[in-house]
Amino acid sequence: DVKVTQSSRYLVKRTGEKVFLECVQDMDHENMFWYRQDPGLGLRLIYFSYDVKMKEKGDIPEGYSVSREKKERFSLILESASTNQTSMYLCASTQGGIKGSPLHFGNGTRLTVT
Amino acid sequence: GESVGLHLPTLSVQEGDNSIINCAYSNSASDYFIWYKQESGKGPQFIIDIRSNMDKRQGQRVTVLLNKTVKHLSLQIAATQPGDSAVYFCARTGNNRKLIWGLGTSLAVNP
């Protein structure tokens, strides 16, 4: 089975801190994604990557950046955390395109910014 | 604009009954639809998918129905069990390489 591992389950940071959320997948998948999940808003795509060093903006990229230096690792960076970035962050990966290749998700990182 | 919506935010069923979870969508350009299940404390997990050239697809205890005429997608769970309690999301492909997600339906199974 594909395993997508997010390094932290819970994280508490202060406003203005730089925050790194790490995600690793073990199935040599080409594509990786970062979503945030908020009650009543569903899953919203922040950034995604189709190859090493490649990145594309999702629907809500503001306030975030990403890094993909190795195929198995996709990092989400909050340059200066703000309280409105308190959320559940989900990483996912898939081998092919999104048509016919289901996303495999990690168990999420719940980030609280105080 | 593109959207995927839900008819009901919560659904409560008795153990052993069949469950039906619905999604409506507004844009007919999608050609791939997916259902995910999210249990408490976990990430979403793929259940079943269907392409737009099909009306029905069956898995183990689950069936997905696609009605393109009325732009409606449903997930049927047979003989619902306590382990089926979760939030269920529908998603579809948009005009680019992104998925468009519904807001989720919470399924509660009563013993």
Reading across the β-sheet that carries B4-6, which strands appear in turn?
A: B4-6, B19-25, B72-77, B62-67, B56-58
Give me B66's structure tokens: 């696609």
Q: Per mean pLDDT, which range of A4-13, A34-43, A73-82, B27-36 is the poorest?
A: B27-36
Q: How far is A98 from chain B (nearest CA, A)?
A: 7
CATH class of the domain comprising A4-113: mainly beta
List chain A domain ranges: 4-113
Arithmetic mean of pLDDT over chain B: 89
Of B41, B97, B102, the CB nearest to A98: B97
Residues of chain A in contact with residue B46, where contact means CB-CB under 8 angstroms, are 102-104
- Percent of chain A residues past pLDDT 70, beyond the cut: 95
Residue contact A97–B97, C-beta within 8 A: yes
Q: How far is B7 from chain A (nearest CA, A)?
A: 14
Segment B37-64, tens digit of pLDDT: 999 999 999 999 999 999 999 999 999 9
Which CATH number does B4-110 carry? 2.60.40.10
Whether chain A has a CB inside 8 Å of the CB on B39: the answer is no
List chain B domain ranges: 4-110
